[in-house]
Chain A
Amino acid sequence: MENILEIKNLHVSVADKEILKGVDMEIKPGETHVLMGPNGAGKSTLGHAIMSDPKYEVTEGELFFDGEDITEEGTDKRAKRGLFLSFQDPIPVPGISLGSFTRSAIEQGGEKHIKLWDFKKKSKEVCAVLNMDESYTERDLNVGFSGGEKKKAEIYQLLMLNPKLAILDETDSGLDVDAVKTVSAGVEEFKKNGGTLLIITHSTRILDNLKVDRTHILVDGKIAKTGGPELVSKINEEGFEEYLKQ
């Protein structure tokens, strides 16, 4: 099967400091990949670079999505193709509600117009999956949200927008057990709909209920090892030391 995402020899700098030093990765549709690694290895950088964050400069290498070269494409174009990044720390946007933002994002993303009725129906379903009160969608986007609420709001958007490939950047960090469960339920729902995942994490709690296909260990800007789901439990027990020594 064709790769949905292909990363070739990706070098990325932030403020002239090289963070990613040649990353390769191939993800097939429907797969779940996990990216692990110690703090500062460049995990979030990879997530942001895949979404073309202007703060991150790609100095070398290529990105392909659905077989097309997207290396030069802007963030919104990539999003329209079906890429999604769930933020580690979502940005508050005062004056615009989660619901109305999500609706305009759906309309920007290709569907010319979604009827309010249809939107509400879908929103209701998604809220149920996430154990979220519907009134939540009327609150200003990420404004005054707790850590858990912010992450739920990200997964809400994920399910509403239903992209082809979602990068979850530390979606489970800072959450209590119940919140992790809720978020996991949302992620499972996304998988059920055929979604592809790249999960960036340094813990494994979010992975408990998910079938992982590939695991990548990122150390100092390079993939130190790629393996199957067994790698997750190995890291769980032994940590990253083995790879740090290399």
Chain B
Amino acid sequence: MKEKTYIEDIDESIYDFRFEEDEEDILGRGIGADLIDEISKEKNDPEWMRAFRQKSLKIFHNTKMPQWGPSIEGLDMDRIVTYIRPKAKMRNKWEDVPEEVKQTFERLGIPQAERESLSGVGAQYDSEIVYHNLRSEVEKLGVVYTDLETAMKDERFSKMIESHFMKLIPPTDHKFAALHGAVWSGGSFVYVPEGVKVEVPLQSYFRLNAESAGQFEHTLIIIEKNSYLHFIEGCSAPKYYAASLHAGCVELYIGEGATLRYSTIENWSKNMYNLNSKRALVEKGGKVEWISGSFGSHVSYLYPTSVLNGEGSTSEFTGITFSGEGQDLDTGAKVIHNAPNTSSYMNTRSISKSGGRNTFRSEVIVKPQAKGSKSSVSCASLMLDSISNSDTIPVMDIRTKDADIGHEAKIGRISDDAVFYLMTRGLSEEEAKALIVSGFCENVSKELPVEYAVEMNNLIRMEMVGSIG
């Protein structure tokens, strides 16, 4: 037997060891099975949902953080635990709302009551009325527009929801989809029967304001054959929540020959991690139109995905992303061509300024059976100064020769000559730049409904000049 040599314990602290397993533990700490059960009890979940939440929680604990996009190290999971607790007051105190957010309200001229609601301080009375009016109006058409929790307990829809809920975005998709599956709360359920064309756009803004929810909300929309719906999510006013994570899910089921337009203007306050998942399944001859304006948040991962499952189905994606100081916005879109003669179009503009970072990520997958399909991707990025960044990461996976695929990407910096030229006509530097930027986005913003284009332009102007004209 060898002689033992006494060695002092190694002081590991100087190495600051961190183990991945530890990290997972820390992230998951506090989100335990009992907490999830508490949520289920509070919400009076049906048994399948209780089981679903528990299953999702396990997946959450066993899934690693995404390693491929912008850093989400600053995400404070402990804080989030506090806010997913049932009955936890989602309400903030007005004093705690950051000065920057308050100033933006000031500049937008938003009334105090609405400011409080946008900051999660109080619910908005008007919203409730608008929501209820809208709801009863569409009910006459047989359209169901309600919150998901209520619909789940309604025997007319419970089976439908059970067979669609998180089937497009399963909790195994990524860590935050799993988290969503476990803790989701609030959100919208819309059902449009066959042949019904809904003329007024449904706006989740009013619904969510009425509830003061919105961080783990689940949107489930099912529209039947030959129907039409325009659904609008979000608003241009900045939204502030104390818990800095938004991990919502949007699942859209589009029947044969039906068209769903899904518009979003997102302007989360700049402390927010926006890890939202959106997916649409489109049947034969159906169409999904995504319109997406991303202005807010600290970090975003956002890639609305269309699964073109039926022959001749179409996906159109129109997006504008604007990132300023301290923002790292990773946005784009995905399309899976799963059937013959399907078409997809992506048209995006991204702008970065004051050190902001934009990444455009697109993925077009054409399966062997998707013969005769077309895809066209066009993305352009504009950097307003030399400290901002823009990247384009297009991925294409084409498994048939019988497909027409186009891709166009442009990245450029704003031209000093153009700024000078406009200034010789009396525009200030900011005005000149704002004009160039709105011109750059025009191609995309003309696709928007007028009032949306105006909002979008106002946002651009506000980001550029600090005022709205």
Among B417, B423, B424, B435, which residue has its beta carbon within 8 angstroms of that of A104? B435
Among A55, A80, A96, which residue has its beta carbon within 8 angstroms of that of B435? A96
Q: Are B439 and A95 in contact (CB under 8 A)?
A: yes
Among B415, B428, B440, B442, which residue has its beta carbon within 8 angstroms of that of A108? B428
CA distance A165 to B240 in the complex (A): 51
Q: Are A109 and B421 in contact (CB under 8 A)?
A: no
| B82 within 8 Å of A (CB atoms) | no
Shortest CB-to-CB span from B143 to chain A, Å, is 37
Across the interface, which residues of B come within 8 angstroms of A74, CB to CB?
Answer: 423, 429
| B438 within 8 Å of A (CB atoms) | yes
Interface residues of B in 81-117 (CB under 8 A from A): none
Across the interface, which residues of A come within 8 angstroms of B418, CB to CB?
Answer: 91, 93
| B426 within 8 Å of A (CB atoms) | yes
* B439 to A, closest residue via Cβ: A95
| A79 within 8 Å of B (CB atoms) | yes
Shortest CB-to-CB span from A80 to chain B, Å, is 5
Across the interface, which residues of A come within 8 angstroms of B427, CB to CB?
Answer: 76, 79, 104-105, 108
| B441 within 8 Å of A (CB atoms) | yes
CA distance A79 to B439 in the complex (A): 22
CA distance A136 to B427 in the complex (A): 22
Shortest CB-to-CB span from A169 to chain B, Å, is 11
Q: Are B442 and A76 in contact (CB under 8 A)?
A: no
Shortest CB-to-CB span from B430 to chain A, Å, is 10
Interface membership of chain A positions 90-101, coded 1 if the CB is closer than 8 angstroms to chain B and 0 otherwise:
110111100001
| A5 within 8 Å of B (CB atoms) | no
CA distance A80 to B422 in the complex (A): 12
Q: Are B426 and A80 in contact (CB under 8 A)?
A: yes
Q: Are A76 and B423 in contact (CB under 8 A)?
A: yes
Q: Are B424 and A51 in contact (CB under 8 A)?
A: yes
Size bracket, chain B contacts: 20 to 34
Q: Are B426 and A94 in contact (CB under 8 A)?
A: no
Q: For chain B, what secondary structure do more than half of its interface residues adopt (helix, strand, loop), or is it mixed?
A: helix
- Given known contacts A54-B416, A75-B420, A101-B435, A95 and B426 CB-to-CB distance under 8 angstroms: no
CA distance A96 to B415 in the complex (A): 15
CA distance A53 to B421 in the complex (A): 9
CA distance A104 to B418 in the complex (A): 16
Across the interface, which residues of A come within 8 angstroms of B416, CB to CB?
Answer: 54-55
Across the interface, which residues of B come within 8 angstroms of A79, CB to CB?
Answer: 423-427
CA distance A108 to B430 in the complex (A): 12
Shortest CB-to-CB span from A138 to chain B, Å, is 13
Q: Are A91 and B421 in contact (CB under 8 A)?
A: yes
Across the A-B interface, how many residue pairs have beta carbons closer than 8 Å? 79
CA distance A95 to B380 in the complex (A): 13
Across the interface, which residues of A come within 8 angstroms of B441, CB to CB?
Answer: 95
Among B426, B432, B438, which residue has its beta carbon within 8 angstroms of that of A109? B426
Shortest CB-to-CB span from B448 to chain A, Å, is 14
- Given known contacts A96-B439, A104-B435, A108-B431, A157 and B420 CB-to-CB distance under 8 angstroms: no
CA distance A76 to B435 in the complex (A): 14
CA distance A9 to B417 in the complex (A): 26
CA distance A231 to B438 in the complex (A): 47
| B369 within 8 Å of A (CB atoms) | no
Across the interface, which residues of B come within 8 angstroms of A53, CB to CB?
Answer: 420
CA distance A54 to B429 in the complex (A): 12
CA distance A85 to B422 in the complex (A): 11
Q: Are A84 and B424 in contact (CB under 8 A)?
A: yes
Q: Are B425 and A157 in contact (CB under 8 A)?
A: yes
Interface membership of chain B positions 391-432, coded 1 if the CB is closer than 8 angstroms to chain A and 0 otherwise:
000000000000000000000000111101111111111011
- Given known contacts A54-B416, A55-B416, A108-B431, A95 and B438 CB-to-CB distance under 8 angstroms: yes
CA distance A116 to B440 in the complex (A): 24
* B428 to A, closest residue via Cβ: A76
| B443 within 8 Å of A (CB atoms) | yes
Across the interface, which residues of B come within 8 angstroms of A51, CB to CB?
Answer: 420, 424
CA distance A225 to B423 in the complex (A): 32
Across the interface, which residues of A come within 8 angstroms of B417, CB to CB?
Answer: 91
CA distance A109 to B426 in the complex (A): 5
Q: Are B440 and A94 in contact (CB under 8 A)?
A: yes
- Given known contacts A74-B423, A104-B435, A91 and B415 CB-to-CB distance under 8 angstroms: yes
| A119 within 8 Å of B (CB atoms) | no
Q: Are B421 and A95 in contact (CB under 8 A)?
A: no
| B77 within 8 Å of A (CB atoms) | no
CA distance A51 to B419 in the complex (A): 13
| A87 within 8 Å of B (CB atoms) | yes
Across the interface, which residues of B come within 8 angstroms of A157, CB to CB?
Answer: 425
* A53 to B, closest residue via Cβ: B420
CA distance A96 to B436 in the complex (A): 8
Across the interface, which residues of B come within 8 angstroms of A90, CB to CB?
Answer: 421
Across the interface, which residues of B come within 8 angstroms of A95, CB to CB?
Answer: 438-443
Shortest CB-to-CB span from B378 to chain A, Å, is 14
Interface residues of A in 27-86 (CB under 8 A from B): 51, 53-55, 74-76, 79-80, 84-85
CA distance A170 to B334 in the complex (A): 50
CA distance A80 to B423 in the complex (A): 10
| A161 within 8 Å of B (CB atoms) | yes
CA distance A95 to B444 in the complex (A): 10
Interface residues of B in 168-211 (CB under 8 A from A): none
Shortest CB-to-CB span from A109 to chain B, Å, is 4
Across the interface, which residues of B come within 8 angstroms of A96, CB to CB?
Answer: 435-436, 438-439, 442
Give B residues with C-beta under 8 Å from A. Answer: 415-418, 420-429, 431-432, 435-436, 438-443
24 contacts between A and B (CB under 8 A): A76-B423, A76-B426, A76-B427, A76-B429, A76-B431, A79-B427, A85-B424, A91-B415, A91-B417, A93-B436, A93-B439, A94-B439, A95-B440, A95-B441, A95-B442, A96-B436, A96-B439, A101-B425, A101-B435, A104-B427, A108-B425, A108-B427, A140-B439, A161-B426
Pairs A-B, 4 closest by C-beta atoms: A95-B439, A95-B442, A109-B426, A75-B423
